[in-house]
A = this chain, B = another copy of it.
């Protein structure tokens, strides 16, 4: 792909940065964050402002444009992609590398004295505003809210905000009714002595009301806010979606209900005014609970003395611990997903090896086709990463016609894909070779596998935070001087966002919540050689209680159970680099794949894929 030409765009942006029609005073720098007004990771096309202005469309990145410079901060997953997608107007700031300045430090180094730095207050989270504002102020600059989004003013063909129909989820999927979720939320509010709770994250609104949508690709959410009082429920949502009889019944909009469960439906755009009204009506000691990642605009609507901000909301924490209905749904979704992947890999082996006609895009489409044959399939859970050879080293690669490579018997193929089913969300990565891998490729794969097993088989005390497990995934790579520049795992939603807080496995976080039985995370170490290949092995795993010989301080222990049940290509494993324990882990895992997925393939009459599964799950034998 060729980089986006941004010279004209930047010129226009620099003009509006000084145009009194849009800014009270000229701003010398303008920040374009990744997110939308809900701080979503995946965003609707109308919110892809950073991609529009720079060309870089990875899921994480912040652009800052000054009169002289344009700079893009992104993390190790996207260094290559961003470098490919942006033209020479842009400087890439590689986060996580020692010499990369922070946005604040960089701004201070390039701005003339007493500068104003503008940002859309609806897009920037309150905690980021605070940090940035403080740093700038201490160097004599000012962070200022620019009400009109300056990118929108130059984005002439900006798409409409989506407003798609909703799906209602019944108890068999959710395990808990929205009424009971409201009751639990209010009890948390009472504990913390807050009168109001503002739901700003889209997946939290969806989870709370047991509704799903499709306003954002891959994430089954819809544009909405909610404000929950001790006796009131206000849902801010647009369009005629509330006309749907199924939705009306689900939310009991037309029933006689106790007043505290009566949902008031209000226009999406009225949230700021309503929140300002709430803020104006508070008495001393009355508090409003918001995420500290809520937008600066909404946070400012509540006077400071009335705000109760936490990094994780009670909904975020409750949502992370899956109940038995959700866990069973996730299991079912992963079985169906594994069936689709067995079909795909069997098909690939038949097509790639003799014919060589399968491209990355064809493989990705085929994966989607097989998934879509499964019951309750809704959509993909993220853009399929179907990458072969050097494309595999672009960590969040998405094949497009310009980069599309043909799978071959000479290159490693990495497929990171997943789907939304009505009963659960999947996310799985397998790395395979259709010919004969080199000794070096096998060596690297085996180190990654050792890291994957080290996390998956780890036993750790209740109360342990996921970030403490991150180094287990790297130890085998580190021993040989290797590493990977991304975290090891993220929380996974239940028919919700494929990335969700408040837990994960990453050296980059510290404020993650402790892992609890019922939480679901990914385990996905990797190794990437720029220009050559990429390796990643990813399972989604469920946190479960572990049986241990002893029980220090009666704390109890936890471990993981893989929900993903897709064979790990044994051809890629150098079995002599595995310990006996690791070898047993692989064999037990494959035994379980054979039993569980084998039975489902049988049931679905997919006999060829079943034969593939049986072949791919032959036990490893370690020669001592």
Contacts and interface: CB of A to CB of B under 8 A. Distances in A.
A475 B140 CA distance: 48
Nearest to A307: B138
A284 B465 CA distance: 44
Contact of A98 (B463, B471, B507): B463
Interface string A452-473: 0000001111010100111110
Interface in A275-306: 284-285, 305
Nearest to A527: B552
A106 interface: no
Nearest to A463: B98
Given A481-B550, A483-B461, A548-B481, A470 B472 contact: no
A383 B302 CA distance: 53
Contact of A140 (B285, B465, B579): B285
Contacts of A472: 471, 475
A191 to B, nearest CB: 12
Contacts of A458: 475, 478
A482 interface: yes
Contacts of A478: 458-461, 557
A160 interface: no
A477 B550 CA distance: 10
A5 to B, nearest CB: 31
Contacts of A579: 579
Nearest to A309: B138
A550 B468 contact: no
B471 A469 contact: yes
A301 B98 CA distance: 34
Interface residues of A, number: 38
A472 to B, nearest CB: 7
Contacts of A510: 510
A156 interface: no
A551 interface: yes
Interface in A545-602: 546, 548-553, 555, 557, 579
Contact of A480 (B469, B548, B555): B548
A479 interface: yes
Nearest to A140: B285
Contacts of A140: 284-285
Nearest to A554: B481
A550 B284 CA distance: 62
Contacts of A555: 483
A483 B284 CA distance: 46
Interface string A468-501: 1111101101111111000000000000000000
Contacts of A465: 507
Contact of A481 (B471, B480, B482, B549): B549
Contacts of A138: 305
Contacts of A305: 138
A474 B555 CA distance: 15
Contacts of A481: 459, 461, 546, 548-552, 557
B463 A479 contact: no
A458 B471 CA distance: 11
A106 to B, nearest CB: 15
A98 B465 CA distance: 13
Q: Which of A284, A481, A552 has the most CB of B within 10 A?
A: A481
Given A468-B470, A468-B507, A510-B510, A550 B463 contact: no
A451 B550 CA distance: 17
Which of A98, A479, A549 has the largest count of B CB atoms less than 10 A from its CB? A479
Contacts of A551: 481
Nearest to A113: B285
Contacts of A553: 483
A430 to B, nearest CB: 23
Contact of A482 (B98, B463, B474, B550): B550
A585 to B, nearest CB: 13
Contacts of A480: 548-550
Contacts of A482: 550, 552
A226 to B, nearest CB: 24
A392 to B, nearest CB: 16
Contact of A468 (B463, B471, B546, B557): B471
Contacts of A548: 479-481
Nearest to A510: B510
A277 to B, nearest CB: 23
Interface in A589-624: none
A454 to B, nearest CB: 9
Given A461-B483, A468-B471, A481-B551, 12 more contacts: A98-B463, A140-B284, A459-B478, A459-B479, A460-B471, A472-B475, A479-B548, A481-B546, A481-B548, A481-B557, A482-B552, A483-B552
29 contacts: A98-B463, A140-B285, A458-B475, A458-B478, A459-B478, A459-B481, A460-B471, A460-B478, A465-B507, A468-B471, A468-B507, A469-B471, A471-B471, A472-B475, A477-B552, A478-B557, A479-B548, A480-B548, A480-B549, A481-B546, A481-B548, A481-B550, A481-B551, A481-B552, A482-B550, A482-B552, A483-B555, A510-B510, A579-B579
The list of the 4 closest CB pairs from A to B, nearest first, reads: A481-B548, A510-B510, A481-B550, A480-B549
